[in-house]
Amino acid sequence: MVEVRKVMWCAVATAVFAAGLWAGIGTAGGEESVAAEAIRLTAGLDARQEIPRPNGVRADAGGSFVVSLERKGAAGTLTWRLSFRELSGRATGAHVHLGRRGRPGPVALALCGPCRSGAHGSAKAREGTVRALITSGAYVNVHTARNPAGEIRGQIRAGSTVPPLPTTTTTTTDPGGDPYP
């Protein structure tokens, strides 16, 4: 009886493993059959996180960045919303940069420019950018004329799986490559 259970368990385990392997292989046309996965990402923005420190920023300057990252394979599509308040002037641009907390980094995605609070859109991201986003290796930065290097910044952190955000109006594209090894 014990021998029969072992054989049956091995058969079931092999079938489950093979089914999982088959799901990740893709179709004959080269399309992946891996289901998309939505991940919630967020960032709280303020001047204290900005590198270098900005000039003439109000103590209550800040904002929020909320993203639904839909992954399909290694790449993904971001649906995002950016809100901010009490900047020193009009937001001249906002970007997602690659970089760990306390370190500056290159632009990975242009979000908007000029921007208004409540800006939203979608962007396609390549593998390196997606990896940086889900491992807290990216931040969002809002720029102004007074602080062209950035006035408020927030490290992007992964949260829970969520449904996608509402339909958006702005579309941007990852400039390419794998800038975050």
156 occurs within a structural domain: yes
What whole-number distance in Å separates Cα of residue 132 and Cα of residue 106? 12
Q: Is the peptide bond before 52 cis (omega within 30 degrees of 0)?
A: yes
What would the mean pLDDT of 158-169 be, rounded to a whole number?
Answer: 48
Q: Are residues 75 and 156 in the same domain?
A: yes
Residue 155, H or E segment: strand 152-155
Q: What is the pLDDT of residues 61-73, one digit of tens each?
A: 999 999 999 998 8
pTM of this prediction exceeds 0.85: no
What whole-number distance in Å separates Cα of residue 157 and Cα of residue 134? 7
Q: Are residues 11 and 65 in the same domain?
A: no
Q: Are residues 80 and 97 in the same domain?
A: yes
CATH number at residue 150: 2.60.40
What would the mean pLDDT of 118-135 be, rounded to a whole number?
Answer: 95
Q: Are residues 26 and 91 in the same domain?
A: no
Q: What is the pLDDT of residues 22-61, one digit of tens each?
A: 233 333 344 444 566 799 999 999 999 999 999 999 999 9
| Domains held by the chain: number | 2
| Separation of first and last alpha carbons in the chain | 52
Give residue 17's pLDDT band: very low, low, confident or very high (50, 70, 90).
Answer: very low
40: β partners: 68
Q: Are residues 137 and 158 in the same domain?
A: yes
181 occurs within a structural domain: no
What whole-number distance in Å separates Cα of residue 141 and Cα of residue 161? 24
180 occurs within a structural domain: no
178 occurs within a structural domain: no
76 occurs within a structural domain: yes
* Whether pLDDT at 137 is above 60: yes
* Whether pLDDT at 110 is above 70: yes
The residue segments making up the domain with residue 81 are 37-173
144 occurs within a structural domain: yes
What whole-number distance in Å separates Cα of residue 70 and Cα of residue 130? 10
43 occurs within a structural domain: yes
Q: Are residues 67 and 147 in the same domain?
A: yes
Q: Are residues 27 and 90 in the same domain?
A: no
Q: Are residues 84 and 153 in the same domain?
A: yes
Q: Are residues 30 and 49 in the same domain?
A: no
101 versus 168: the higher-pLDDT residue is 101
Q: Are residues 48 and 14 in the same domain?
A: no
pLDDT score at 1: 52
Angle at 58 between CA 54 and CA 61, to 5 degrees: 85
Q: Are residues 53 and 74 in the same domain?
A: yes
Q: Are residues 50 and 28 in the same domain?
A: no
At 137 the three-state DSSP class reads coil
